[in-house]
């Protein structure tokens, strides 16, 4: 279990937010698992988690308070939905995504 931990970068990266609190993700990221594609988009402070119920549980555990999401594919497959969200969160810490 210790090897499966991932680092999730948090930031205040929304276009109309000027706080210094780490409440959102730093940039737009996309993850895919099976037929499901999840796109996570930074949101201003106070927006909350505008995501599906299963994704909300994952994002709360990651410490993210404000984010928008867009899902494509069959969202009824909740395992693939959560797996795609985790793949998107992994991409927040990759060097090639930082621009």
Query: Each residue of 13-24: pLDDT tens digit?
Result: 766 667 778 889
The answer to whether residue 68 sits within a structural domain is yes
Indicate the pTM of the whole model. 0.88
In a domain, 9, yes or no: yes
Distance CA 35, CA 97 (A): 23
Question: Which residues have C-beta within 8 Å of that of residue 55, sequence separation ≥ 6?
Answer: 38, 49, 69, 81, 82, 85
Range of the domain at 70: 2-94
Instruction: List the CATH number of the domain containing 60.
Output: 3.30.230.10
Is the pLDDT at 83 greater than 90? The verdict is yes
* Residue 99 is assigned to a structural domain of this protein: no
pLDDT of residue 1 exceeding 90: no
Q: How many domains does the chain have?
A: 1
Whether 60 is in a domain gets the answer yes
Determine if residue 63 is left, alpha or beta; phi over 0 gives left, psi from -120 to 50 gives alpha, anything else beta.
Answer: left
Mean pLDDT (the chain) is: 88
Q: Is residue 39 part of a domain?
A: yes
Give residue-wise pLDDT tens across range 29-44.
999 999 999 999 998 8
Q: Is residue 29 part of a domain?
A: yes
């Amino acid at each position: 279990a210790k090897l499966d931990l991932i680092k999730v970068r948090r930031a205040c990266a929304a276009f109309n937010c000027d706080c210094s609190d780490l409440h959102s993700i730093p940039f737009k990221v996309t993850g895919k698992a099976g037929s499901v594609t999840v796109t996570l988009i930074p949101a201003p402070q106070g927006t909350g988690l505008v995501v599906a119920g299963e994704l909300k549980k994952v994002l709360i555990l990651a410490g993210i308070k404000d984010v928008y999401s867009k899902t494509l594919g069959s969202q009824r497959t909740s395992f693939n939905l959560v797996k795609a969200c985790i793949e998107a969160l992994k991409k927040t810490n990759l060097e090639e995504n930082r621009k």
